Amino acid sequence: MASNPMKISLLKSNLEAVGADLLALPFSTGALKKEAEEALLALGFDIQVLKDFKADAGEVVVLYGGGKKHAAARIALLGLGEAKTLDDWRKASVSFASKAVDMKLGKIAVDCSGIKSLSAATGQSVATLAATLVEGCSVGSYRFDRLKSGKLDKKKSAPKSKEIAELLLRVDAQESVEVEKGVAEGKIVASCQKMARDMVNLPGNYLQADDIAKAAVESGKKHGYDVTVLHKKQIESLCMGGLLAVNQGSFHPPTFTVLDYKPKGKAKLVVALVGKGVTFDSGGISLKPSENMGEMKSDMSGAASVLGAVEAVVRLGLPLHVIGLIPATDNMPSGTAQKPGDVITTYSGITVEVGNTDAEGRLILADALTYAKEKYKPDVIIDVATLTGACIVALGYGVAGLFSNNDKLADEIFQAGQQSGEKVWRMPLWDLYDEQIKSDVADVNNTGGRGAGSVTAAKFLEKFIDGHKNWAHIDIAGPSFLPKGGGKVNGGTGFGVSLLVELLKKWA
């Protein structure tokens, strides 16, 4: 599934000698006047351009000409905004790489000689800034074009939108060790994020439950951790009634994939990560409206982030025992499909009235949560899922919903969100919401009626953790997939990988 990763090299030469298709000179609004003028004059450019360039975070102005000789074919002014937060720096990195891809440039460079003072201004380490730059460039240069044949392109010779082949970072000698460290880490997170993004973007006819399992097995083989795939027969003998009920209408069998990474030495914590892997959510018999239904190919985003996060933990060698659990199936209507009103028995033994077959995510997660708790006795359980449209109504496409029965855990996840840029906002789990998911015929109903849809979904999940005291549920329905028109690059974001890695690093 992987393509060639971007090659990243450090350069200690002077600015004029940096040979690239585009060299970025980053400036903050505060330093703009003095530093940018100096730099422009030194390179022989007209400082009139500073009338237009405001150094807003993510602003890019490409300059041509210039009097003095420089090896770079083009120079870009790159805005850092006030450069007070990591978000400013991330935004600039994403925007610069995105611009370079749009211009079809293969080799780009960033002048990082100001990274030490940026470190002071943001309160972030040089390594973190370097890692964020690498991740940002990867995010910004990402395009999903593997399903384009190019056969209908007007100019047959025109290259397909290509990814950036090489990134050069110009650093001062004193910073190079720390930058190197950050680059190494950033590369790992970026590659895991990209893997997740590719999976989310793959449509239902390219990615079935079995393909998720295969991707996990491949990752396990490559990076040296255990992956076990439970197939339909085993899922049946375990009586995972939630997963089986959702799969009942499908032509394709379900899978339940367990990723298990144990570090070399003693593990500081046992962490279970559960990811919703619905490869396509039609709604089932409670069929969704057809408009934009295609976006439901992204309903396995939780699974993709869990796979990405586990792989990243392995490659970073964090001293944690991390278990990833991925229940996977599509949700289809057919003569064999489950029906509204059905009562099913989940893996836990808890019975569920299926008020709506479109509330399928919680059914497959129920089994996985119980399995995680019972089998691994983890210190922490976190599930990640594109669970409710209601969460998008509440928080939009930029922020995930966070639910937890543990204040400390909730705070740690919130902080990880602030640091990684993958923001979460906590919502309540008060018992008063239980009223909405009461059932007359079963232990609980899988739908909670009109109000607070993302809360009642979380309350439902809570029933299946068997009293575990350190659980969190992250509803990524909004930020996992940006619909058309949301931004320049639509589709899968890989949301969750960076957030989880940030959190797990704190525990390592």
Residues 6 or more apart whose CB falls under 8 angstroms from that of 41 comprise 47
Partnered with residue 7 across adjacent β-strands are 166
Burial of 431 (0-12, 13-18, 19+ CB in 10 A): exposed
- Residue spans of alpha helices (H) in 142-247: 176-201, 209-223, 232-237, 241-247
Least Cβ distance, residue 65 to Mn ion (angstroms): 55
H or E element, residue 99: helix 86-102
Which residues in 434-493 contact ligand BES (CB under 6 A)? 447, 453, 477
Residue 347 backbone dihedrals phi, psi, to 5 degrees:
-55, -35
* Residue ranges binding Zn ion (CB under 5 A): 278, 281, 299, 361
CB of 481 to Mn ion, least distance (A): 14
Sequence-ordered list of residues with C-beta below 8 angstroms from that of 348, at least 6 positions apart, any chain:
366, 367, 370, 464, 466
Tell me the closest approach of the beta carbon of residue 281 to Zn ion, in angstroms. Answer: 4
CB atoms inside a 10 Å sphere around CB 290? 8
Asked if 281 interacts with Mn ion (CB under 5 A), we say: yes
For 463, which DSSP code?
T
Closest-CB residue for ligand BES?
389
Task: Tell me: does residue 386 bind ligand BES (CB under 6 A).
Answer: yes
For the bound state, the minimum distance from the C-beta of residue 61 to Mn ion, rounded and expressed in Å, comes to: 45
CA distance 64 to 46: 10
Which residue in 90, 187, 362, 373 is the catalytic one? 362
Q: Answer yes or no: 151 catalytic.
A: no
Whole-number Å distance between alpha carbons of 71 and 11: 13
- Please pick, from the candidates 21, 281, 367, 412, the single residue that binds ligand BES as defined by CB under 6 A: 281
Among 135, 358, 412, 422, binds Mn ion (CB under 5 A): 358
Active site residue 69: no
243 binds ligand BES (CB under 6 A): no
What is the rounded distance in angstroms from the CA atom of residue 361 to the CA atom of residue 357? 9
Say how many residues touch ligand BES, by CB under 6 A: 16
475 part of the interface to Mn ion, by CB under 5 A: no
The residue to which tokens 């530093």 are assigned: 35
Quick one: which segment of 59-67, 355-363, 398-406, 437-445 binds Mn ion (CB under 5 A)? 355-363
Which region among 138-146, 387-395, 400-408, 421-429 touches ligand BES (by CB under 6 A)? 387-395
Q: Which is nearer to Zn ion, 163 or 281 (CB)?
A: 281
Indicate the DSSP class of residue 483. P
Q: Which does 390 bind (CB under 5 to 8 A by kind): Zn ion, ligand BES, Mn ion, none?
A: ligand BES
Q: Is the dihedral of CA 192, 195, 201, 205 positive or negative?
A: negative
Interface region with Mn ion, contact rule CB under 5 A, candidates 29-37, 300-308, 341-349, 357-365: 357-365
Q: Is 114 in the site for ligand BES (CB under 6 A)?
A: no
Site for ligand BES in 285-314 (CB under 6 A): 299
Q: How far apart are CA 404 and CA 98, in angstroms?
A: 36
Beta bridge partners of 228: 258
Binding site for Mn ion (CB under 5 A): 281, 358, 360
Q: Applying CB under 6 A, which residues contact ligand BES?
A: 281, 299, 356, 358-361, 386-390, 392, 447, 453, 477
Residue numbers annotated as active site: 288, 362
